[in-house]
A = this chain, B = another copy of it.
Amino acid sequence: MNAVRVGFLGLGTVGSGAVRALREGRERIAARVGAEVIAVRAAVRDLSKPRPVDLTGLELTTDPLAVAAAPDLDVIVEVIGGVGVAREGVTAALRAGKAVVTANKELLAKHGRELFALADEHGGEIAFEGAVAGGIPILRALGHGLAGNRIREVIGIINGTTNYILSSMTATGRPYAELLAEAQAAGYAEPDPTNDVAGHDAAYKLAILAMLSFDTWVDIDAVARDGITRVQPADIAVAGKLGYVVKLLGIARRRPLWSPLEVAATGDLPPAPSLARRGSAEEGIELGVHPTLVPKGHPLAAVNDVYNAIFVEGSSVGRLMFYGRGAGDGPTGSAVVGDLIEVARHRCNHCRAALPPLDADLPLVPTDEVSSRYYVRMRVLDRAGVLAKLAGILGEEQVSVAQMLQTESDADWAEIVWITHPTSGRSIERSLARMAELEVVVEVSNVLHCLESGE
């Protein structure tokens, strides 16, 4: 094989950047691959639209399926996004036995299993490093470098837009809506921001991280998902007083939970309390995207603006963190070109990377059984005996309090903030429902998750 011929589905900024990178890095890439890697054809919606790259030698067409299945192409780069044409194109390419490079997190989170199966059936492969955390090579690490580990948990700040907005809220004390508008003006948030701010984007990425960490398929619709729209400046301020910052975290944990360090030290299962604290010892995974209080000493607390970071804990490797820009043309383009070099090399050597094995078939732990610390902010009437009533309910529901802060107000109510020890979603929900019925409770202002310092 003298050249690896590449077709593009879509030619936006990431696609154009990849075409440019192939041209500019031509010799270096050829040396690594063992053949030249050439951008041959691209399917675009608008042939006349100006592109930020020299199109010489690149054939443009408006028919993505023709590109996807073209017999003269070896590799297809899908940078259309979404699950419509992108899915059809990737499916056609895989059916034709091609290698596919994509950064489409929604496509993989929703249809990954069927696409991996297609790739397997037709001898192709799918590389998708750019789908999670931009240029941070976290998927390759989970799928290959850490393959000798049993992964315990993955905790990630995996959406740059929401991290930018929460960082700004923390720095300025200003409300969500104002900062969203600024982020939109600056191009850090979409005109319709739902996909980011409601946690969809983070949930897609978390599902992909969980698949690679735990070798299991994840039903994206079953992932607990919450966004940042209900985070108020008051929450950020009081969290700060208590020693926390608020971040949108995606957390994936393998049950039964065990501490690899304890196991390594004793060669035995961890002592009962740490299992008990975490709830049942049944097999499964916990998955959730939630605005979460992060202790200021935790490395994730210092990850600000559009940066992403992913914490991984594995049985032999212990704790790792990967940090970098999670989105944008440069970082995503870096991942796409890295994937392109790899699959091109495989084509030349008539081999392919392992497809993610999704055969562990682990059930998702229902939200109300997942154990977490909780932050609760509420307003109560400023009367004697109120605290005793609230504490009584918490005690009956087995919720134990780790931190509490009460502040006076000018009105006749007081604000109370609790941070609980780990408790089930069910217990916290029941406690709050019972409290809300009390006459002395004016409102439950907000409930957020809270990370333990040791996590």
Which residues of the partner chain B approach A340 to less than 8 Å between Cβ atoms? 148
Please report which residues of chain A, range 345-360, place their CB below 8 angstroms from some CB of chain B when the two chains form the complex: 345-346, 349-352, 354, 357, 359
Which residues of the partner chain B approach A145 to less than 8 Å between Cβ atoms? 129, 135, 137, 140, 334-335, 338
Q: What's the Cα separation between A34 and B338 when bound, in Å?
A: 25
Q: For residue A355, give the distance in angstroms from its CB to the closest CB of chain B.
A: 10
Q: What's the Cα separation between A354 and B32 when bound, in Å?
A: 7
Task: Point out which of A144, A299, A325, A335 has the most chain B C-beta atoms below 10 A from its C-beta.
Answer: A144
Q: In the complex, what residue of chain B is closest to A136 when comparing beta carbons?
A: B320
A281 interface residue, CB < 8 Å from B? no
A112 interface residue, CB < 8 Å from B? no
Which residues of the partner chain B approach A144 to less than 8 Å between Cβ atoms? 137, 140, 338, 341-342
Stretch at the interface among A55-63, A311-319, A428-436: A311-319
Which residues of the partner chain B approach A402 to less than 8 Å between Cβ atoms? none
B interface footprint on A126-146 (CB within 8 Å = 1, 0 otherwise): 000100001111001100111
Given contacts A144-B342, A351-B349, contact A318 B302 (CB under 8 A): no
Q: What's the Cα separation between A31 and B141 when bound, in Å?
A: 18
Q: For residue A329, give the distance in angstroms from its CB to the closest CB of chain B.
A: 8
Contact of A359 among B31, B316, B338, B351 (CB under 8 A): B31
Contact present for B318 and A324 (CB under 8 Å): yes
Contact of A357 among B32, B140, B325, B354 (CB under 8 A): B32
Please report which residues of chain A, range 214-237, place their CB below 8 angstroms from some CB of chain B when the two chains form the complex: 215
Q: What's the Cα separation between A321 and B32 when bound, in Å?
A: 24
Q: For residue A424, give the distance in angstroms from its CB to the closest CB of chain B.
A: 30
B interface footprint on A194-207 (CB within 8 Å = 1, 0 otherwise): 00000000000000
Contact of A137 among B146, B316, B346 (CB under 8 A): B146
Which residues of the partner chain B approach A333 to less than 8 Å between Cβ atoms? 148, 316
Q: In the complex, what residue of chain B is closest to A353 when comparing beta carbons?
A: B345
A406 interface residue, CB < 8 Å from B? no
A387 interface residue, CB < 8 Å from B? no
Q: In the complex, what residue of chain B is closest to A264 when comparing beta carbons?
A: B330
A241 interface residue, CB < 8 Å from B? no
Given contacts A349-B351, A351-B349, contact A32 B147 (CB under 8 A): yes
Contact present for A316 and B331 (CB under 8 Å): yes
Contact present for A323 and B345 (CB under 8 Å): no
A383 interface residue, CB < 8 Å from B? no
Q: What's the Cα separation between A149 and B135 when bound, in Å?
A: 10
Contact present for A323 and B323 (CB under 8 Å): yes
Q: What's the Cα separation between A174 and B317 when bound, in Å?
A: 31
Task: Point out which of A145, A341, A352, A359 has the most chain B C-beta atoms below 10 A from its C-beta.
Answer: A145
Please report which residues of chain A, range 279-335, place their CB below 8 angstroms from some CB of chain B when the two chains form the complex: 299, 302, 314-325, 330-331, 333-335
Given contacts A342-B144, A354-B345, contact A316 B302 (CB under 8 A): no
Please report which residues of chain A, range 137-171, place their CB below 8 angstroms from some CB of chain B when the two chains form the complex: 137, 140-141, 144-150
Q: 7 A-B Cβ contacts within 8 A?
A: A32-B357, A137-B140, A137-B145, A140-B140, A147-B341, A316-B333, A317-B334
With A144-B338, A148-B338, A316-B331 known, 5 other A-B pairs at CB within 8 A are A29-B148, A299-B302, A317-B324, A318-B330, A319-B325
Binding site for B on A (CB under 8 A): 17, 21, 25, 28-29, 31-34, 129, 134-137, 140-141, 144-150, 215, 260, 264, 299, 302, 314-325, 330-331, 333-338, 340-342, 345-346, 349-352, 354, 357, 359
Q: Which 7 A-B pairs have the closest CB atoms?
A: A148-B337, A137-B145, A135-B317, A351-B351, A320-B324, A317-B334, A316-B334
